[in-house]
């Protein structure tokens, strides 16, 4: 176990005293008190659940101080000095660690050092040092991953904290859970957008759900964490709408448009007038019946930040139609921010024209969310909308071409074969859940779905105006808020190019930006034990939204990466995909990869005829990939495999591995797929974190829970995927221009694989697989073709960190 910590601030002694007094842990007159009395008093205050002297004393007696004495007894013995070993014996127990199981009674700091817990390295504490150690303890991570002060808060330390004039409480630069979550206001308003996407002659109203502490009713202005979630009101079943992937890849006509040609004609329909305002109100008319669904938001709700959820156009309760992340969806996302910032109108209901302001909001907004939710945060950020101070975009799409397409191919997100922009639009057009609303808008939606289907163009798979309109990176110049990106290094749903290409552009954008890369697939990372991500977000939002100068920008590392070779290990670096990273070139020969240029490497061939066997075996795409990668299987003939020697030195890959080759195919079209593999029987980190404790992280006093999780080393496995790539041979120059393929003619191909960071440790072997049909991601054409690869003209160019 390693409890890495990045968000703890170092405070001066006087600041520590002020803060300890602010939370009523250190009495105002502490200097007047004998050390013994003070220490007894303080330890008793660490048991907010105990309401009598006897019970508090009983709790202290459960803590072992020395081999002989419990804490109550030890406290009787102290005069001017508190033994450091005793302090940390007790501290570890307070933090939830167990004697013998976790640490040895007389060696607490050995355990603390190994676990990365901070301590004061001094044999005995006088009263001053004791107070310092107490402050440090409160800001130390406990066994649950939560800070000790958060644990105290969860046990009622801040219950009844608020007075008539509620306020935020800051400790160690972070906002504390002093708000009453048992009386939240849960309400719905209708934000009026400047859109009429369903063309009903009225501006689209956007249902917006707000959860805010009732302390706002007493006048406190609070920031908003806004999650734009098209899934908030549920999703539609689209199984029947998935596209058939058991089809052919088209032979495309030669086309050479310029990038500038790829623009969509803007809609010319005139925008209806805004609704008339017939009155104003400070109270809503509809209670929210759906609940929040991101534990990080819940955590901040207990700390006084409103949670705002909106699905946007076409979702249940709102007007309009889904268009899969078009500029209109972006505008329907930013409309909510404009309302929160005081720059747009909302109504209490759909009909009466009663305006309601976000009067409780301090006009400071951050966006959170994963996947489509993070995508809309990215979309909003690239508009430069006023009021949006920062986004935390997790596993977010930055260009939808990089989600559903790749280099002129239809390439599905993993486990999503047949999905496309139109399917996703239908999945989210949840207005259809209200039958009478569907009766009004269903036909119009069905019609515009056809336009989506045409625009997305599953025939060519080319980048075009449709996809250009959904490439937020093109708008990056507008971005003026600070950005946090989070992505899983094993995410094959939203592939890493989405984070990578955005990061490349952010590098020179004059905003603060931070990046977190974890070892998960398509998941959130706020409940991972080994890193204080939530605390970092607290520091970040406290700075961004409350304006507290807390060093957030300097405390958070630029790039934080979880290591894939060991548990609970997070490293920081100045950049990711740094342009000046060195590269190592691997040359191909029959079945080998070598850093020495190969002489007389042959031509070699493989036959792409695995689809029939894949279908006959009725196996999953995961099982197929296992078989393809394995030494021998019924799919061995469908791929070329090249293995490097076991590494003698670790190789920390960082960047986009590039595969260069010369290839021919015996028909007029074709594709190449490439897998880079870490081979060798080793224990590897699982890509799905294990639940260490269900409901192991409480988010506030008598409030919600999240599971506590960690990535654990698995039983020995034979391989792990490092990265992948796919390319249509007709798109050998780029994704929007199409060239011809002449049967059996060789073409130079340069394929940048998905960007990554991978710690390939000594003993492991780098592996390369070259094949065509990818059962899990590409179209699965049954007709068999033969590919020739000129190994003499092939290299794998691997960027890595300096040694």
Active site residues: 371, 491, 522
Helix or strand run (H / E) with residue 802? none
254 contacts its own copies (rule: CB under 8 A): no
Q: Is the dihedral of CA 261, 264, 269, 275 positive or negative?
A: negative
Q: Shortest gap between Cβ of 191 and its own copies (angstroms)?
A: 16
With CB under 8 A as the contact rule, the residue among 116, 155, 357, 363 that binds its own copies is 155
Q: Is residue 167 near its own copies by the rule CB under 8 A?
A: no
Window of 95-103, 249-257, 577-585, 745-753 that interacts with its own copies by CB under 8 A = 95-103
- Residues β-bridged to residue 663: 747, 789
Binder to its own copies among 4, 115, 172, 236 (CB under 8 A)? 236
Q: What is the CA radius of gyration of the chain?
A: 29
Stretch that binds its own copies, among 52-60, 500-508, 557-565, 725-733 (CB under 8 A): 52-60
**C-alpha–C-alpha distance, residues 788 and 81, integer Å:** 79
Q: How many CB atoms lie within 10 A of CB 465?
A: 16
Closest separation in Å from C-beta 236 to its own copies: 7
Q: Does 71 bind its own copies (CB under 8 A)?
A: yes
CB of 93 to its own copies, least distance (A): 6
By DSSP bridging, strand 279-281 and strand 354-356 are parallel
State yes or no: residue 58 binds its own copies (CB under 8 A): yes
**What minimum distance in Å lies between the beta carbon of 281 and its own copies?**
10
Choose the binding region for its own copies from 16-24, 46-54, 527-535, 663-671 (rule: CB under 8 A): 46-54
Binding segment for its own copies (CB under 8 A), chosen from 99-107, 572-580, 589-597, 732-740, is 99-107
Query: Is position 618 an interface residue for its own copies (rule: CB under 8 A)?
Result: yes
Of the residues 52, 163, 273, 802, which one makes contact with its own copies according to CB under 8 A: 52
Contact present, 275 and 513 (Cβ < 8 Å): no
Pattern 340-379, its own copies, x by CB under 8 A: --------xxxxx---------------------------
Q: How far is Cα 526 from Cα 520, in angstroms, rounded to an integer?
A: 12
Cα 301 from Cα 10, distance rounded (Å): 26
Does 64 sit near its own copies (CB under 8 A)? yes
For 267-297, letters b (16+ CB in 10 Å) and e give eeeeeeeebeeeeeeeebebebeeebebbbb
Residue 681 exposed, middle or buried by CB count within 10 Å (0-12, 13-18, 19+) = exposed
Is residue 429 close enough to count as binding its own copies by CB under 8 A? Answer: no
Kindly state whether residue 297 participates in binding its own copies, applying the rule CB under 8 A.
no
Question: Least distance in Å: CB of 130 to its own copies?
Answer: 21
- Segment 666-695, which members bind its own copies (CB under 8 A)? 695
92 vs 499 by CB, closer to its own copies: 92
Minimum distance, C-beta of residue 145 to its own copies, in the bound complex (Å): 16
**Is 615 one of the binding residues for its own copies (CB under 8 A)?**
no
434 binds its own copies (CB under 8 A): yes
Nearer to its own copies, 5 or 318 (CB): 318
Instruction: Indicate whether 286 belongs to the interface with its own copies (CB under 8 A).
Output: yes
Tokens for 591? 């079945």
Distance of alpha carbon 358 from alpha carbon 543, whole angstroms: 21
Binding to its own copies by CB under 8 A, coded x per residue (else -) over 178-197, reads: ----xx--x-----------
Please give the size of the binding site for its own copies, defined by CB under 8 A: 56
Spell out the residues 6+ positions from residue 764 whose beta carbon is closer than 8 angstroms to its own.
646, 647, 678, 679, 680, 682
Strands 361-367 and 222-228, bridge-based pairing? parallel
d(CA 570, CA 547): 29
584: β partners = 798
Could you say whether residue 433 binds its own copies (CB under 8 A)?
Answer: yes
Q: Does 435 bind its own copies (CB under 8 A)?
A: yes
Among 4, 154, 383, 526, binds its own copies (CB under 8 A): 154
DSSP string of 83-142, one letter each residue: EHHHHHHHHHHHTT--BTTTB-TT-HHHHHHHHT------SEE-HHHHHHHHHHHHTSB-
d(CA 184, CA 181): 6
Cβ(686)–Cβ(785) under 8 Å?
no
- Residues in contact with its own copies by CB under 8 A are 48-52, 54-55, 57-58, 61-65, 70-71, 93, 98-101, 105, 154-156, 182-183, 186, 236-237, 284-289, 291, 293, 348-352, 432-439, 618, 695, 702, 705, 715
């Amino acid at each position: 176990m390693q409890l890495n910590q990045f968000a703890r601030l170092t405070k001066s002694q006087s600041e520590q005293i002020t803060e300890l007094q602010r939370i009523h842990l250190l009495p105002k007159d502490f200097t007047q008190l004998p050390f013994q009395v003070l220490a007894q008093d303080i330890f008793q205050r660490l048991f907010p659940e105990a309401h009598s002297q006897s019970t508090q004393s009983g709790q202290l007696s459960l803590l072992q101080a020395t081999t002989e004495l419990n804490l109550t007894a030890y406290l009787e013995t102290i005069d001017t000095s508190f033994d450091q070993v005793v302090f940390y014996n007790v501290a570890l127990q307070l933090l939830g660690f167990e004697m013998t199981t976790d640490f040895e009674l007389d060696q607490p700091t050995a355990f603390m050092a190994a676990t990365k817990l901070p301590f004061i390295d001094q044999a005995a504490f006088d009263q001053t040092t004791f107070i310092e150690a107490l402050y440090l303890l409160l800001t130390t991570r406990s066994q649950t991953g939560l800070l000790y002060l958060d644990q105290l808060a969860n046990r009622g330390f801040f219950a009844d904290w608020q007075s008539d004039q509620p306020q935020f409480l800051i400790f160690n630069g972070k906002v504390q859970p002093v708000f009453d979550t048992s009386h939240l206001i849960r309400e719905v308003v209708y934000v009026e957008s400047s859109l009429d996407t369903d063309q009903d002659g009225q501006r689209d109203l956007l249902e917006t759900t707000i959860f805010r502490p009732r302390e706002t009713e007493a006048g406190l202005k609070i920031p908003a964490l806004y999650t734009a979630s098209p899934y908030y009101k549920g999703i539609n079943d689209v199984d029947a709408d998935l596209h058939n992937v058991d089809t052919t890849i088209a032979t495309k006509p030669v086309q050479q448009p310029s990038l500038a040609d790829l623009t969509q004609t803007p809609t010319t329909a005139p925008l209806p007038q805004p609704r008339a305002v017939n009155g104003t109100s400070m109270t809503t008319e509809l209670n929210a019946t759906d609940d929040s669904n991101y534990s990080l938001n819940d955590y901040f709700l207990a700390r006084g930040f409103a949670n705002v959820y909106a699905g946007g156009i076409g979702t249940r309760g709102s007007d309009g139609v889904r268009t899969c992340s078009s500029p209109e969806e972006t505008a329907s996302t930013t409309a909510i921010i404009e309302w929160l910032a005081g720059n747009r109108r909302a109504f209490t209901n759909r009909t009466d024209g009663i305006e309601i302001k976000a009067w409780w909001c301090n006009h400071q907004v951050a966006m959170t969310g994963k996947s489509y939710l993070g995508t809309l945060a990215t979309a909003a950020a690239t508009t430069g909308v006023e009021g949006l101070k920062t986004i935390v975009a997790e596993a977010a799409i930055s260009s939808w071409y990089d989600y559903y397409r790749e280099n002129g191919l239809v390439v599905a997100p993993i486990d999503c074969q047949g999905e496309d922009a139109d399917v996703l639009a239908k999945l989210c057009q949840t207005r259809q859940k209200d039958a009478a609303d569907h009766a009004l808008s269903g036909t119009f939606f069905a019609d515009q779905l056809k336009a989506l289907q045409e625009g997305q163009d599953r025939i060519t798979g080319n980048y075009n105006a449709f996809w250009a309109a959904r490439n937020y990176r093109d708008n990056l110049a507008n971005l003026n808020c600070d950005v946090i990106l989070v992505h899983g290094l094993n995410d094959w749903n939203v592939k890493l190019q989405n984070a990578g290409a955005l990061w490349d552009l952010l590098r020179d954008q004059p905003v603060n930006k931070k990046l977190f890369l974890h070892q998960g697939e398509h998941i959130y990372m706020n409940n991972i034990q080994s890193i204080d991500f939530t605390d970092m977000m607290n520091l970040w939002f406290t700075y961004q939204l409350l304006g507290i100068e807390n060093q957030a920008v300097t405390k958070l590392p630029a790039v934080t990466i979880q290591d894939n070779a060991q548990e609970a290990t997070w490293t920081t670096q100045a950049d990711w995909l740094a342009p000046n990273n060195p590269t190592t070139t691997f040359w191909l020969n029959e079945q080998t990869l070598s850093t020495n240029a190969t002489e007389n490497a042959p031509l070699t061939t493989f036959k792409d005829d695995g689809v029939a066997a894949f279908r006959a075996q009725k196996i999953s795409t995961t099982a197929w990939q296992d078989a393809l990668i394995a030494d021998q299987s019924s799919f061995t003939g469908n791929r070329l495999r090249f293995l490097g020697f076991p590494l003698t030195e670790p190789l920390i890959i960082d960047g986009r591995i590039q595969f260069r080759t010369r290839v021919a195919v015996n028909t007029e079209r074709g594709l190449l797929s490439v897998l880079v593999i870490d081979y060798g029987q080793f224990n590897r980190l699982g890509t799905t974190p294990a639940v260490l404790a269900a409901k192991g992280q409480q988010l506030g006093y008598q409030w919600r829970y999240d599971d506590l999780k960690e990535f654990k080393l698995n039983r020995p496995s034979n391989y792990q995927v490092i990265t992948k790539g796919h390319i249509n041979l007709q798109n050998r120059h780029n994704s929007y221009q199409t060239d011809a393929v002449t049967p059996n003619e060789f073409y130079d191909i340069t394929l940048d694989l998905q960007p990554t960071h991978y710690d390939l440790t000594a003993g492991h072997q780098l592996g390369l697989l070259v094949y065509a049909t990818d059962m899990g991601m590409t179209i699965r054409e049954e007709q068999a073709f033969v590919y020739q690869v000129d190994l003499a003209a092939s290299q794998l160019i691997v960027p890595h960190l300096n040694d």
